[in-house]
Amino acid sequence: MFRYIFEQLFILGQIKKIGPFMSDIRVLIVEDEALIAKDIQFILEDADYSVSAIAYNSKKALEELRNRTPDIVLLDIQLNSELSGIQLAKIINEQYQLPFIFITSYADRATIEKVKSTNPMGYLVKPFEERTLITTIEIALYNHAQLWADQRPNLSFKLINQKLSNPLTDREFATLQQLLQGKTNKQIASDLYVSTNTVKTHLSNLFLKFDVSSRSMLFTRVNQLLRAS
């Protein structure tokens, strides 16, 4: 009995270290116009997304990518910095395999042709509606999750628990399955008939058991474990 209580207190302590919002979808905003960046941040946080950082130049963006792995990047094409948004996109693809969405004031054919080779998950022309931004992010996360799913062996409760020193519960595994489909906390809560706080608790436990700190890192870790089968 005392051992159980100790284990639960330890897990609670670790969750507190992770932080109350780490289970939210984390968005890195790369935008050199402060007013636009702050407006996007407000929209995202109002929709229960977590903004990991705002980068006003390419140097800050690279620093944030290294130190605080986001789940998705909103990327301005025309950055007033050393690297353009297109150059940053190539680095994101090659080194981080993260989904990104271009946000730009340009909709001309030449710009669109330039960005095609970077395989963005979306392209938004400023100014855009709040709902358009949120919908584009949801679709981007879903499509990115499907790309991972195509590369991943079949996921089973028994197999994944054989790979973990601290096995998943049934509800944690159900949450993991939903997460790997690119669903948001609200969507997972609706599908599993639980509260968003319960989902966040399950996600925090998943991060601990897989030793990761973001959804994107969890995707990578699951694939690594299954490929090692």
Whether residue 6 lies inside any domain: the answer is: no
The residue out of 147, 180, 203 marking a domain boundary is 147
Q: Is residue 11 part of a domain?
A: no
- What tokens appear for 168 in the block? 């998943």
Q: Full-prediction pTM beyond 0.75?
A: yes
User: Would you say 20 and 181 are in contact if contact means Cβ atoms under 8 Å apart?
Assistant: no
Domain identity same for 133 and 171: no
Chain center to CA of 208: 16
Query: What CATH number does residue 161 fall under?
Result: 1.10.10.10
Give the phi and the psi of residue 209 in degrees, each rounded to 5.
Answer: -70, -30
Residues 49 and 161 in one domain: no
Q: Are residues 180 and 75 in the same domain?
A: no
pLDDT of the chain, 229 residues: tens digit per residue: 444 434 444 444 443 444 443 458 999 999 999 999 999 999 999 998 999 999 999 999 999 999 988 999 999 999 988 999 999 999 999 999 999 999 999 889 999 999 999 999 999 999 999 999 999 999 999 999 888 777 776 789 999 999 999 999 999 999 999 999 889 999 999 999 999 999 999 999 999 999 998 898 998 899 888 887 6
Q: Do 158 and 114 sit in the same domain of this protein?
A: no
Which is it for the CA torsion 88, 42, 184, 19, positive or negative? positive
Residues 40 and 114 in one domain: yes
SS3 content of the chain, % helix, strand, coil (to 5): 60, 10, 30
Show the tokens assigned to 13. 């302590």
78 near 104, Cβ under 8 Å? yes
Confirm whether 211 is domain-assigned: yes
Would you state the pLDDT for residue 154?
Answer: 79
Same domain, 39 and 130: yes
Residues 137 and 192 in one domain: no
If asked whether residues 52 and 141 sit together in one domain, one would say yes
pLDDT for the residue numbered 92: 96
95 and 34 part of one domain: yes
Q: Which range of residues forms the domain containing residue 216?
A: 150-227
Strand order in the sheet with 72-76: 50-55, 26-30, 72-76, 100-104, 122-125
Taking alpha carbons only, the member of 53, 52, 54, 51 closest to residue 35 is 54
Report the pLDDT value the prediction gives residue 229, as an integer from 0 to 100: 61
Last residue of a domain, one of 147, 177, 209: 147
Residue 171 domain-assigned (yes or no) = yes
Same domain, 134 and 220: no
Classify residue 1 as exposed, middle or buried by CB count within 10 Å of its CB (0-12, 13-18, 19+).
exposed
Place of tokens 């790309």: 147
Query: For residue 157, what is the enclosing H or E element?
Result: helix 157-162
CATH number for the domain including 54?
A: 3.40.50.2300
